[in-house]
Structure 1
Amino acid sequence: MAGAIIENMSTKKLVIVGVILLLFQAFAFMVGGLIAPSPTTAVDYLAVKCVGKASHRQETKWFMPWGSNQCDKIQSFDEAVAKRIEANDIVFAVHIPMSNNEMSPWFQFILVMLQFDIAFKMTNQIKDGAIVNLDVKLAYRDDMVSEWNEMARSFEKRKLHCNFTFPKTYVNDGRFYTCDVLPFMEVGSVAHKYYLLNIRLPVNERKKINLGIGDIKDIHLVGIHQNGGFTKVWFAMKSFLTPSILIIMIWYWRRISLMNRPPVLLEKVIFALGISMTFINIPVEWFSVGFNWTWMLLFGDIRQGIFYSMLLSFWIIFCGEHLMVQGEAAEHWRHRGVQLTNPFYSIWASDVGTELALSFIILAGICACLYFLFLCFMVFQVFRNISGKRTSLPALSKARRLHYEVNQGHWHWGGHTVQVNSAFFTGIYGMWNLYVFAIMFLYAPSHKHYGDEQSSGQCITGIDEGVKSGENIQLTTTVTHVDGPTELYRMMGKEAQE
């Protein structure tokens, strides 16, 4: 029975395949580094303090920070005290984007982070475990004259994490705390041109709401969205890679179906891995440009989860069969959706959620390192088993030193600018596709036939005739036999070990 293609390839052909894959990998990095712009853009917004009676909270009134219908503004809370304006009557208004700009569906998402400017006061210090209560509303419109349409409304809580690096004395009154950035909002589809945020910090002494949170002076928001130019390059890559993986997947299964036996478990898992990679590649994001698909981020997480699950299944089964084959030679077979309805929800807002998210991130990092080391070990094993001893390569000529400057996610390389972050995204994405492509190609059944017969019950004399006819006999320990290892397989395995 014929083995996999990787088992029958000569060293020369294997090196050629490896070089071709490396060239495509380099091209994937170059697409992001030289063609695509930076993946995301971060814009800092300073919330404008508008004055609005607390009775308006349950109404449809919206407060604009600028423009023809801008709200009545105050510059500071000291001005509010002088005018006898209560804290419940102050609305922090933020318009996304800034004036004379507009959002685009090519931006794909909006991620907003929040940070408070809190001044120290001996009479109003931040208590341990202080929690800020936020009454927030989000609206949208597609031109500058129409009415705002409510998109979401929520009452949120965020725990303050602030440090004061000076002695807490009256001398240091007015100095600012150093506070961590807090997660605030995430919108999975940028279907409209303009967005408006209205934020209140309601105070209720009886219910102890927003007490002990310090003297808040300002609210800063950082809006992060994907760059339209990067989105177009990303979509182009997905559109190109989808048919590539689909074609190799069909080719792989066709070779499986030509075998005179049913596919084994490992072959089924490899095919499922190809399906999951195709599922990731299908550029359904094209539709998000024309439709308000707020679930795109959740859908992307689901697709990645399916792919990584299939990848894990592949390696578990591959390693299991690898260990099983090694064992048979020695033992002879004896032994990323609450945000769909509430964009202000964040897992980072609670202590338990933060610890859980950090645990998953740390665990993912550890698993990624272990997986990389294991992958390097497996590649080394494959090349050692197939290639054997290799002649030493001629010494390479000394390469000219390249002088470059690293600056905010990109390199200045002579007269060119290399976007490091974009190159990372496109390179890793291309790497996964090449990885799946290589697995399906190299582990597809080979059409080379050894001997005049292919059945597992082939007699030894038939093999001897095949040898006399000039055919090369190659025995491997990775061929899975339905009825267990044959006697010839045992004898040859023992001789190989000796």
Structure 2
Amino acid sequence: MAGAIIEKMSTKKLVLFVFFILLFQIFSILVGALISPSPTTAIRYLATKCINFHRTRAWLMPWGSNRCQQVHSFDDPLAKTLDANDIVFAVHVPLPNTEMSPWFQYMLAVLQFDIAFKMINQIEDDVVITIDARLAYRDDMTSEWTTKFHSVEQRPLRCTFAVSKTYENEGRFYHCDPIPFMELGSVAHKYFLMNLRLPVNDTMNVGIGEIKDIHVVGIHQNGGFTKVWISMKTVFSPWISVATVWYWYRIRLLARPPVLLEKVIFALGLSMAFLDMPVEWLSTGFEWTWMLLFEDAQQGALYSILFCFWIIFCGEHLMDQRQRNRLSAYWWQVGLVVFGSSVLLIFDLSERGVHLNNPFYSVWAVAGISVCLYFFSLCRMVYCVFRTIGGKMQQLPTMPEARRLRYKGIIFRFKFLMLATLTCAALTIIFFILNQVSEGHWHWGDYTLQVHSAFLTGIYGMWNLYVFTIIFLYAPSHKHNRKKIQFSFVHIQSKTHKYQDTKYSFNKKFF
């Protein structure tokens, strides 16, 4: 890619460009650290044990004027007369005197069981718990509840008992893993009501121990963080879109067809522009339950193009002239990325897609090992690139001084860009793996620094700034084009004069 801006730009302008990029990166981090609240909020609800003697499908409220008949403990005398199928666990979301908001974007629910140890009723190995779950909504405190979803789901119950299983330890509680329960892709209503039953018969919910209570942990995105996130998308979206169009316009002005690296850079710009589309503005006014699936598709497209770009970017500077500019030269690296992306897409469709009709459906998988292996492979390619560059630098002393200084500057700039690429790859993979970690914050004087928000906004800003840097620095330089135009003009002028001289000689000879 001779004639790119990275080769033609003066060192002073390049340093100034990098300085402004770093300023924008610091600003992206500070937006999350100082302005944005924590990305998510987790609220713990204790399910109310309602009595449903007639086992009807009426909605049972845990509190308020129409609250259900309750039993506070299964050790109460009244509870001793009840059948397990007469109990409905009711949870109202949110807590009293609060409302849900479309700015929350999504809502997750995780179940936590309190199970007491009994010698005659122990938890069996590899046991599965069956839950008859119903979800309803309403938008004021007086209207009737409207059924939204109903499903009977099964979840593995994994519990451990820290002490020996003896009569002396009866009454102690198991330590049970949280159970993923529900995921709503839109929070379009103010109030939600969950009614959960644990149906019991000869084969269902047998060997699950003595359940005392059920806790529901509700997790949703904070409205303040949503506003900051959408605002950043609104700023970056036109910036990256215009830069991508400008880059391809510059490429089309060249007299040759685009090379492989130029095509991949253009695809990288398109994927970044696709991720930056601020469609969340519309989701706050419409009940779009497919938003989580759409956001995963946006990030998946960027991940796939980024990983392919880094492989081709390193490879094009590592291979000799005969192997360059051929996608087939990277068939196994790109093939692995495509295969991994396809697996993640199938997983995502199987979970997010089913959530459109059944938010209680759940599938779980881990992809951290694959991206770690990818990163180590990328590090090896970068090492090989630096080793190749080191071999070429040994030829510099034999060059003329002016040419030697020019090539030293180009090699230094390329090394810096490669290190920036490796840093971006490392942070992207860390973000990919730790995207579900719990948020944290630090206190510094009178300010609270939201570490998780700063990490998310910083990574998002880094993606945009990195893509913009690649697009800008690898675009054809106007200086290079101007020299070619001047050369073509002189060439045309010389041919015109030659034609005029020939015509004059012809006329002089025959007339």
Shared fold (TM-score greater than 0.5)? yes
Quote the residue 2:298 is aligned against.
303
Quote the residue 2:433 is aligned against.
none
Gaps of 5+ in 1: 349-356, 391-406, 463-498
* Structure 2 residue 349 is matched with structure 1 residue 345: no
Confirm or deny: 8 A CA contact 2:40 2:439 kept in the other structure.
no
SS in structure 2 of the partner of residue 78 of structure 1: coil
Provide the TM-score with structure 1 as the length reference.
Answer: 0.79
SS in structure 2 of the partner of residue 74 of structure 1: coil
Structure 1: distance between partners of 2:389 and 2:449 = 34
Once the two structures are TM-superposed, the CA of residue 276 in structure 1 deviates from its matched residue by 1.0
2:271 aligns with one of 251, 268, 276: 276
Q: Return the letter of the residue paired with 1:9.
A: M
Once the two structures are TM-superposed, the CA of residue 267 in structure 1 deviates from its matched residue by 1.3
Structure 2: distance between partners of 1:104 and 1:137 = 21
| Higher helix residue share | 2
* Structure 2 residue 260 is matched with structure 1 residue 257: no
Confirm or deny: 8 A CA contact 1:120 1:176 kept in the other structure.
yes
Equivalent residues in 2 for 1:25-64, closer than 5 Å: 25-53=25-53, 55-56=55-56, 59=57, 61-64=58-61
* Structure 2 residue 187 is matched with structure 1 residue 171: no
* Structure 2 residue 393 is matched with structure 1 residue 362: no
Q: Return the letter of the residue paired with 1:39.
A: P
Confirm or deny: 8 A CA contact 1:113 1:221 kept in the other structure.
yes
Structure 2: distance between partners of 1:364 and 1:75 = 49
Quote the residue 1:466 is aligned against.
none
Structure 2: distance between partners of 1:362 and 1:16 = 39
Q: Return the letter of the residue paired with 1:340.
A: L
Quote the residue 2:9 is aligned against.
9
Q: Return the letter of the residue paired with 1:38.
A: S
Decide whether aligned partners of structure 1 residues 451 and 277 sit closer, same or farther in structure 2, where only a CA change above 3 A counts.
closer
Confirm or deny: 8 A CA contact 1:41 1:227 kept in the other structure.
yes
* Structure 2 residue 219 is matched with structure 1 residue 230: no
Structure 2: distance between partners of 1:249 and 1:382 = 29
Decide whether aligned partners of structure 1 residues 187 and 270 sit closer, same or farther in structure 2, where only a CA change above 3 A counts.
same
Once the two structures are TM-superposed, the CA of residue 319 in structure 1 deviates from its matched residue by 3.1
SS in structure 2 of the partner of residue 77 of structure 1: coil
Confirm or deny: 8 A CA contact 1:6 1:443 kept in the other structure.
yes
Q: Percent identity?
A: 59
Once the two structures are TM-superposed, the CA of residue 9 in structure 1 deviates from its matched residue by 2.5
Confirm or deny: 8 A CA contact 2:318 2:388 kept in the other structure.
no
Confirm or deny: 8 A CA contact 2:74 2:80 kept in the other structure.
no
2:409 aligns with one of 364, 369, 386: 386
Instruction: List, as ranges, runs of 4+ consecutive aligned residues in structure 1 with deviation greater than 4 Å.
Output: 80-83, 326-329, 368-385, 387-390, 450-456
Once the two structures are TM-superposed, the CA of residue 320 in structure 1 deviates from its matched residue by 3.4
Confirm or deny: 8 A CA contact 2:48 2:70 kept in the other structure.
yes
Equivalent residues in 2 for 1:57-456, closer than 5 Å: 59=57, 61-79=58-76, 82-205=79-202, 208-325=203-320, 336=348, 337-348=353-364, 357-358=365-366, 360-368=367-375, 371=378, 386=409, 409-449=440-480
Structure 1: distance between partners of 2:300 and 2:175 = 37
Structure 2: distance between partners of 1:82 and 1:55 = 16
Provide the TM-score with structure 2 as the length reference.
Answer: 0.77
Quote the residue 2:428 is aligned against.
none
Once the two structures are TM-superposed, the CA of residue 326 in structure 1 deviates from its matched residue by 6.6
Confirm or deny: 8 A CA contact 1:80 1:86 kept in the other structure.
no
Structure 2: distance between partners of 1:129 and 1:121 = 18
Structure 2: distance between partners of 1:158 and 1:146 = 33
Quote the residue 1:398 is aligned against.
none
Once the two structures are TM-superposed, the CA of residue 423 in structure 1 deviates from its matched residue by 0.3
Decide whether aligned partners of structure 1 residues 450 and 148 sit closer, same or farther in structure 2, where only a CA change above 3 A counts.
closer
Confirm or deny: 8 A CA contact 1:105 1:189 kept in the other structure.
yes
Q: Return the letter of the residue paired with 1:220.
A: H
Structure 1: distance between partners of 2:8 and 2:224 = 44
Quote the residue 2:425 is aligned against.
none
Structure 2: distance between partners of 1:31 and 1:321 = 37
SS in structure 1 of the partner of residue 165 of structure 2: coil
Q: Return the letter of the residue paired with 2:409.
A: I
Confirm or deny: 8 A CA contact 2:42 2:220 kept in the other structure.
yes
Confirm or deny: 8 A CA contact 2:73 2:79 kept in the other structure.
no
Q: Return the letter of the residue paired with 1:363.
A: S
Decide whether aligned partners of structure 1 residues 245 and 382 sit closer, same or farther in structure 2, where only a CA change above 3 A counts.
farther
Confirm or deny: 8 A CA contact 1:2 1:450 kept in the other structure.
no
Once the two structures are TM-superposed, the CA of residue 322 in structure 1 deviates from its matched residue by 2.1
Q: Return the letter of the residue paired with 1:41.
A: T
Gaps of 5+ in 2: 330-347, 394-407, 414-437, 492-511
Deviations, residues 195-226 of structure 1 (Å, cap 9, x unaligned): 00000001011xx1101000000001110111
Structure 2: distance between partners of 1:98 and 1:17 = 50
Confirm or deny: 8 A CA contact 1:54 1:88 kept in the other structure.
no
Q: Return the letter of the residue paired with 2:471.
A: M
